[in-house]
Amino acid sequence: MNETILISVTPRLSQVWSTMVQAHATPATPFFPLTGLHKYIAIFLVILSWILVHQWSLRKQKGPRSWPVIGATVEQLRNYHRMHDWLVEYLSKHRTVTVDMPYTSYTYIADPVNVEHVLKTNFTNYPKGDVYRSYMDVLLGDGIFNADGELWRKQRKTASFEFASKNLRDFSAIVFREYSQKLSGILSQASKAGKVVDMQELYMRMTLDSICKVGFGVEIGTLSPDLPENSFAQAFDAANIIVTLRFIDPLWRLKRFFHVGSEALLEQSIKLVDEFTYSVIRRRKAEIVEARASSKQEKIKHDILSRFIELGEAGEDSGGLGDDKSLRDVVLNFVIAGRDTTATTLSWFTYMAMSHTDVAEKLRGELCAFEAERAREEGVTLVPCGPDADEKSFAARVAQFASLLNYDSLGKLVYLHACVTETLRLYPAVPQDPKGILEDDVLPDGTKVRGGGMVTYVPYSMGRMEYNWGADAARFRPERWINEDGAFRNASPFKFTAFQAGPRICLGKDSAYLQMKMALAILCRFYRFQLLEGHPVEYRMMTILSMAHGLKVRVSRAF
């Protein structure tokens, strides 16, 4: 039976085979001498050889598997929601990791020696670069975080002059104290009502109001007791998320061209952001004109935006910042520096305090001792205040404590400073910072990087590497920052990179610490926080390490 079937089928197979050969047969040419199926076999072998050669060339590459054309896009997209922890896994095995993408390659570094080479030793070879600028230009424009070369130097010179001003520092302390007390009032009401609050949202409101007052001289009132709608903040966050997605989305230019998907949303978000920003600039300019017209020069505020406006009007060396578009870029760069980074750190600090009650109680002990000592020094009689104190007495006690806080007195709170710094080590506000590569270079560990690519140092990973911080690197332990004499112990800025290092080191570092310590001293002295049951705490992918679902807590008074 089987033999009969085989005999009858064989002629048919031969006929099919003959037909296929004839159908695919092509005449031999000087350019392609093979014909028929031999041609397709040859093409297959060429492609196979190309893949094998590609894989062989990457045999020593440390990082995710890379494929021809698409690179490591698939794995990166699959892990995009947990990108920072994905990099931790690779960088814990290899101090340098290369990730190929369709149009470029990213080299991620976590070794302080390599970081110093990029941020300082060979600084000029690692600018922000055209690739980074193309991604971020729609949001940051020519602002200090997105600029290179002479434009960056001129902006930094102007900004550094302002940040070095004692007047700005003292004014900042007053503003930070004021808005910290406003936040305390909102929390006091929430405690009384048993209301759940989103601390990240409240911190974002507080820092936005603060940067607008300190940086731009305007009151916007988002931290009012009724918590008004904040369309600017929502649009700014949406824009931030989408420009971050561009780093791994090979289709973003196509989506922008057709105004679809995420790029369509980005366009709408930027429109709202610009409306707010230009209104701030117009308001500030109008106030300056009014003050000059009334001959009351003392009414001209000496905020950062006013300084840039004056330099632009005078045609001085202000980095070409005479027009509103340039001032818009200044405003948005300072918003992301003064609002997002600070609020994000405050959120992660609060989460760490809730997760480590021993740390929270030790900190409260330092704050209570500080309060008693400073009250004696100032001759202040503290208002008696217990768990059942009325609102008036409680608010008066908070105000008394706040009045004892200034730039110098906050410097005495060593454990608080250590807690903030430890939070930044594990949850840096900027978890990754990419740089362009101008020319081919070799990093100190021997890794070759090619011009046109990008190299990224990764503060989020660096804080978790045992080769940087020891066996307990992943543990939240503020004591690592305090020496045997009880003083704060600094670390190399190329190891603790939360504020960058080298020529681009953060100008607002002291201001950020001032605001964070001012707010946290008040909140941790007078309140306890409890995470809402079942509330997930995860980061979301954007340039800043913010929480994807906010930080919803129950708050109670602490006495």
Tell me the mean pLDDT per 10 residues along the chain, length 559.
42 48 50 60 64 50 68 84 95 93 86 98 96 93 93 89 86 96 97 96 96 88 92 92 90 95 96 94 88 70 80 65 87 91 98 97 98 96 88 95 97 98 98 96 96 96 98 98 97 97 95 98 98 97 95 94
> 131: domain range?
91-557
Residue 419: inside a domain, yes or no? yes
pTM of the model: 0.86
Pairing mode, if any, of strands 454-457 and 433-436?
antiparallel
The count of domains in the chain is 1
Is 58 among the domain residues? no
Query: Looking at the domain assignment, is residue 336 inside a domain?
Result: yes
Range list of β-strands (E), 310-411:
none
157 within a domain of the structure (yes/no): yes
- Which positions ≥6 away from 33 have C-beta within 8 Å? none
Give the CATH number, domain containing residue 420: 1.10.630.10
In a domain, 285, yes or no: yes
CB 386, CB 559: distance < 8 Å? yes
Task: Give the separation between CA 210 and CA 216, rounded to whole angstroms.
Answer: 9
Measured between alpha carbons, how far is 359 from 381 in angstroms, rounded to an integer? 28
In whole angstroms, give the CA distance from residue 67 to residue 58.
10
Q: What pLDDT is attached to residue 104?
A: 78
- Does residue 35 belong to any structural domain of this protein? no
For residue 419, say whether it is annotated as part of any ligand binding site.
no
pLDDT of residue 317: 54
Signed CA dihedral, 29, 30, 32, 36: sign only: positive
From the centroid of its chain, how far is CA 342?
10
Q: What is the pLDDT of residue 290?
A: 86
Q: What separation in angstroms does the CA of 354 have from each of 345, 349, 532?
A: 14, 9, 11
How far does Cα 406 stand from its chain's mean position? 28
Residue 368 CB contacts under 8 Å (≥ 6 apart), including other chains: 525
Name residue 371's amino acid: E
Predicted pLDDT at 165: 85
CA distances from 76 to 70, 99, 193 (A): 11, 9, 45
Q: Is residue 48 part of a domain?
A: no
